[in-house]
């Protein structure tokens, strides 16, 4: 076993969970007298990586988005220089709680795909560890309550400490392999999310009537996906749906419009049904071709209607209508951000 003297942690984080894990690992490293550096993937200088990771154990940690790592993390791993370091890959997932049982999220191909890429660059993968931090996927469910958030932070802190002891003493840690079968089974959904799903979620965000045009969303976006158009924030297809903007907006003015996506779905399927009758029979009979055409129609309708919505949101009546068909608009839905240690340790 190799004793670890230096650790370099790279993280990407939307709402703070992955950053929290990175901070915990750096705390545990320091306790062991290991030299530790933390780098945010969103602002990392690629020209300095090789120097930074010299003789270092490398830890990469990121949230899971659509059963894979988000594009910003995958791009980072793809551009990572070649090397021979030992690497531990970690992901934060959508943890929830039933009684005292923490229900796990789904990793999908996040760890497998990035391991393959790094292996092809010469690295030795010595660990794959998922952490079920509080789910931040507010497009799907209301924010978890404060008690659950505190509990999940505590449980994950203890888990992180146990795993850190293993990897900092030079042992391998492949706890993620427990979920290997389910992770492989959901890989087609991961692909569909990467090719289509993430663009749909990106276009579900908008600024409501409460927006006072402070544009802190634009400044905070880790991938520069929000633009100022007609003095209002506008979400481009670059958006990774990390939902930092929605959770950090000081006016609570950023929502995800569920109703808008339903309207786009109905309209695009009506257009598709109309065209289907006019298409040659071989297309009608081919499932992949039908999927391709219906997806293309959906994306065009989505893009057009998002533009129209952005323009019409200036009008009070329309803005109120869109808000009322957005579940996140209602106060019970809440918002999520990872909490500092002094809050859950109380």
Ligand X SMILES: Cc1cc2nc3c(=O)[nH]c(=O)nc-3n(C[C@H](O)[C@H](O)[C@H](O)COP(=O)(O)O)c2cc1C
By beta-carbon proximity to ligand X, the closer residue of 143 and 319 is 143
Q: Which is nearer to ligand X, 135 or 309 (CB)?
A: 135
Instruction: Give min distance, CB of 150 to ligand X, in A.
Output: 15
Whether the CB-CB separation of 86 and 166 falls below 8 Å is answered with no
Nearer to ligand X, 56 or 240 (CB): 240
Residue (108 or 233) nearer to ligand X, CB:
108
Chain position whose Cβ is nearest to ligand X:
105
- Smallest distance, Å, CB 129 to ligand X? 13
Residue closer to ligand X by CB (options 93, 159) is: 93
CB 223 within 8 Å of CB 42: yes
Name which of 13 and 115 has its Cβ closer to ligand X: 13
With left for phi above 0 and alpha for psi between -120 and 50, is residue 99 left, alpha or beta? left
Residues at the contact surface with ligand X, assessed by CB under 6 A: 13-18, 63-67, 92-94, 105-106, 108, 133, 135-137, 201, 241-243, 338
Antiparallel, parallel or unpaired: β 6-11 and 57-63: parallel
What minimum distance in Å lies between the beta carbon of 43 and ligand X? 15
Close Cβ partners of 221 (under 8 Å, ≥ 6 residues apart) = 239, 244, 245
Least distance from ligand X to the Cβ atom of residue 135, Å: 4
85 or 241: whose CB is closer to ligand X? 241
CB of 132 to ligand X, least distance (A): 8
d(CA 42, CA 59): 15
In DSSP notation, 244-257 reads: HHHHH-TT--EEE-
- With residue 192 as reference, give the H or E element that holds it: helix 187-192
Angle, vertex CA 130, rays to CA 124 and CA 136, nearest 5: 135
| Strand runs labelled E in the chain | 6-11, 35-40, 57-63, 86-92, 96-98, 101-103, 124-131, 205-207, 226-229, 232-235, 254-256
Give the three-state DSSP class for 131: strand
Name the residue with tokens 């709402």.
15
Task: From 187, 198, 179, 223, select the one nearest 137 (Cα to Cα).
Answer: 198
> For the chain, first and last CA: distance in Å?
38
Q: Residue 66 or residue 127: which is nearer to ligand X going by CB?
A: 66
Angle (deg, nearest 10), helices 316-324 and 258-276: 90
When the beta carbons of 240 and 313 are compared against ligand X, the nearer one is 240
């Amino acid at each position: 076993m190799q004793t670890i003297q230096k650790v370099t942690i790279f993280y990407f984080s939307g709402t703070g969970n992955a950053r929290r894990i990175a901070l915990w690992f750096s705390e545990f490293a320091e306790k062991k007298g290991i030299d530790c550096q933390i780098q945010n993937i969103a602002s990392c200088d690629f020209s300095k990586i090789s120097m930074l990771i010299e003789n270092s154990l490398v830890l990469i940690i990121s949230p899971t988005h659509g059963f894979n790592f988000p594009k910003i993390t995958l791009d980072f791993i793809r551009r990572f220089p070649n090397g021979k370091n030992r690497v531990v890959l970690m992901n934060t997932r959508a943890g929830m709680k039933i009684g005292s049982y923490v229900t796990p999220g789904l990793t999908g191909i996040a760890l497998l795909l990035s391991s393959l890429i790094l292996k092809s660059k010469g690295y030795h993968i010595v660990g794959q560890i998922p952490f079920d931090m509080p789910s931040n996927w507010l497009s799907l469910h209301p924010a978890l309550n404060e008690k659950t958030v505190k509990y999940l932070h505590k449980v994950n802190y203890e888990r992180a400490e146990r795993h850190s002891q293993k990897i900092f003493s030079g042992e391998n840690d492949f706890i993620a392999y427990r979920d290997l079968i389910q992770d492989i089974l959901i890989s087609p959904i991961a692909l569909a999310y990467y090719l289509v799903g993430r663009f749909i979620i990106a276009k579900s965000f908008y600024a409501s009537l409460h927006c006072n045009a402070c544009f802190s969303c634009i400044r905070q976006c880790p991938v520069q996906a929000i633009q100022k158009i007609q003095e209002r924030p506008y979400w481009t297809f670059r958006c990774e749906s990390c939902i930092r903007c929605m959770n950090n907006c000081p006016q609570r003015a950023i929502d995800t419009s569920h109703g808008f996506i339903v309207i786009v779905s109905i309209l695009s399927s009506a257009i598709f049904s109309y065209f289907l009758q006019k298409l040659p029979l071989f297309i009608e009979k081919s499932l992949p071709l039908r999927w391709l055409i219906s997806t293309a129609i959906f994306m065009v309708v989505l893009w057009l209607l998002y533009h129209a919505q952005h323009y019409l949101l200036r009008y009070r009546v329309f803005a109120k209508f869109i808000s009322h068909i957005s579940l996140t608009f209602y106060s019970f839905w809440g918002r999520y951000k990872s909490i500092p240690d002094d809050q859950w340790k109380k």
